[in-house]
Amino acid sequence: MSSDILITARQVLITESEALSVLAQHLDQHFISAHQLILNCSGRVVVSGIGKSGHVGHKIASTLASTGTPAFFLHPAEACHGDLGMIQPEDILIALSYSGESNELLQILPLLKRRGSPVISITGDPNSSLARLADVHLNVHIDREACPHNLAPTTSSTATLALGDALAVSLLVSRGFSAEDFARTHPGGSLGRRLLTKVSDIMHSNGDTPCVVESASLIEALQEMSRVGLGMTAVTDASGVLTGIFTDGDLRRTLEKEKGEVSSLRIKDVMTLKPITIGPERAAVDAAELMQSKRISALAVVDEAQRVVGAFNMHDLMRAGLV
């Protein structure tokens, strides 16, 4: 019984993957025309379809919108009852129907054509009504559905969805849409946090920056470390320029070396010289990678003149969801 289940599942995946391979081979000038039509559009892309095509249309519109092509989904039945006013002449309609004969779409297409809105149809029949009415037709014909009865939209839905992805990604490349651009449309996701969060967003600054001058005693430096609780303190000269850093690790090494006699020590005598630092405008994820590669748990943040402007530790990165 279990083997039969796996045989069926594998056959579905094989059938759909083979259909996508054929679709890729058959892409032609029509795809390029659709791509250019959308790329040169001064308005938005409106995706519409009903039934399974409608569900696929929601995904295509969402993918386009998140990759640099303004788009939204419009239900064709609602369009017939007033929502057609959401489409402006400079917009483009992508109409989805595998049969190419969906009545709801066929009702609105002539109205859009009279307004001057270009139409791209995606169907499985280049001789269908929808294909003939469109300015550009994309053919997603398949030999058979993955459904054993060749009825349920399975392979055809996958082919339409994949073709929508191909359009979205080709447009992304043509627009030069970067990972940073993608992050700006996904500020609530982990990628957005990783790419948009800067060191200045997570660092302790102003009065919360642990910092002492070179002339301070070790005891004063320890008091400053305890006050802020970052496990370190920056050490500067009189003008605020960083000259060293002192961490919990430095304290352990100092205690071992001095046999506990530390009351007379000055911080400049035991600090780490030329510490690793980072600028406030750097991506926080860069800081996380730097700290992990150097096996350090805290960093001082300095400006271009090497003046201390902040500090943070690994816990701050964890709170920001970056590690």
Can you tell me the distance from the alpha carbon of 132 to that of 127, in angstroms, rounded to the nearest whole number?
7
Delineate the domains of the chain, giving CATH numbers in brackets. 2-177 (3.40.50.10490), 199-319 (3.10.580.10)
Find the DSSP H helices in 149-276. 155-175, 179-184, 190-196, 199-202, 218-228, 248-258, 267-270
pLDDT at 206 (0 to 100): 84
pLDDT value for 305: 92
Q: Which residues of 190-227 are buried (b: 16+ CB within 10 A; e: fewer)?
A: eebbbbbbbbbebbbeeeebbbbbeebebeebbebbee
Range 182-191, long-range pairs (CB < 8 A, 24+ positions): 182/66, 182/67, 185/65, 185/66, 185/67, 186/66, 190/321
**Do 267 and 220 touch, CB atoms closer than 8 A?**
yes
The phi, psi pair for 295, rounded to 5°, reads 55, 50
Position 173 scores a pLDDT of: 94
- Give the pLDDT of residue 26: 94
323 residues of the chain, pLDDT tens digit each? 677 899 999 999 999 999 999 999 999 999 999 999 999 999 999 999 999 999 999 999 999 998 889 999 999 989 888 888 888 889 999 999 999 999 999 999 888 888 889 999 999 999 999 999 999 999 999 999 998 898 889 999 999 999 999 999 999 999 988 767 676 665 555 566 666 788 999 899 888 899 999 999 999 999 999 998 888 999 999 888 999 999 988 888 888 887 767 778 899 989 989 899 999 999 888 888 888 888 888 999 999 999 999 999 989 888 887 76
**Cα-based torsion angle of the residue sequence 306, 309, 314, 319 in order, rounded to the nearest 10 degrees:** -150
The confidence score (pLDDT) of residue 49 equals 95
Angle at 301 between CA 300 and CA 302, to 5 degrees: 115
The residues pairing with 242 across neighbouring beta strands, listed in sequence order, are 236
- pLDDT value for 187: 56
Residue 188: its pLDDT value, please? 56
| Torsion, CA 178, CA 180, CA 182, CA 185, rounded to 10 | -140
Lookup: tokens for 177: 């849409």
Cα–Cα distance measured from residue 171 to residue 152, given in angstroms and rounded to the nearest whole number = 31
Tens-place pLDDT, residues 62-120: 999 988 899 999 999 898 888 888 888 899 999 999 999 999 999 998 888 888 899 99
Handedness of CA 198, 201, 204, 205 (dihedral sign): positive
> DSSP readout, 29-84?
HHHHHHHHHHHT-SS-EEEEE-THHHHHHHHHHHHHHHTT--EEE--HHHHTTTGG
Structure tokens at 226: 């305890």
CB-side exposure of 193: number of CA atoms within 13 Å? 12
Q: What is the pLDDT of residue 81?
A: 82
**Count of CB atoms situated within 10 Å of the CB of 241:** 13
Q: How far apart are CA 163 and CA 57, in angstroms?
A: 11
Longest dimension (CA), the chain: 92
Containing 18, the helix (H) or strand (E) segment is: helix 2-26
User: What are the respective helix, strand and coil percentages of the chain, to the nearest 5?
Assistant: 50, 20, 30
Spatial contact of 138 and 30, defined as CB atoms under 8 Å apart: yes
∠ Cα 112 117 123 (to 5°): 75
Which residue, among 42, 308, 38, 61, has the nearest Cα to 161 in the 3D structure?
Answer: 61
Decide: helix, strand or coil at residue 198.
Answer: strand
Q: In whole angstroms, give the CA distance from residue 45 to residue 37.
A: 10
CA distances from 186 to 31, 103, 192 (A): 28, 36, 5
pLDDT of residue 128: 96
Q: Full-prediction pTM beyond 0.85?
A: no
